[in-house]
Amino acid sequence: MIDHIGFPVSDLARPRAFYDRALAPLGIKLMMEVTEEMTGGHGAHLGYGRDGNPFFRIGTGRSVPAGVHIAFAASDRAMVDAFHAAALAAGGRDNGAPGLRPEYHASYCGAFILDPDGNNIEAVHHGAPA
């Protein structure tokens, strides 16, 4: 099991504005903020999560990778739809509208968005098809 995952971003302002809005429908919020001064010059970091665990982290201070893929669990298909709408409204680019992805399995419902740095962010529900 993974405790947390993170990746570098080009700056914190744009991704913060994006993730604050895009992850809200999934019940994920900003829980941790570490400044550049606190890390001794090794970048600033933000931690998003729920239930006391900031399991998704972004930060500055390293080169930005291309093509990171992160999938967040959604409790139902409506949450997948809400994530997609919120992420588009927050400035994300569509990378796959909400819908079934039977190539993964019969009840896989996902939506994909490219964040401000071009990373592929997904919300997925593994429930029964609607």
CB-hemisphere CA count at 13 Å for 46? 18
For the CA atoms of 77, 83, 88, 91, the dihedral, rounded to the nearest 10 degrees, stands at -170
Q: H or E segment at 11? A: none
pLDDT at 130: 52
**What is the pTM (predicted TM-score) of this model?**
0.89
pLDDT at 66: 72
Structure tokens at 33: 């903020």
Cα 72 from chain centroid?
Answer: 7
> Which residues in the chain show pLDDT less than 70?
1, 129-130
pLDDT at 40: 86
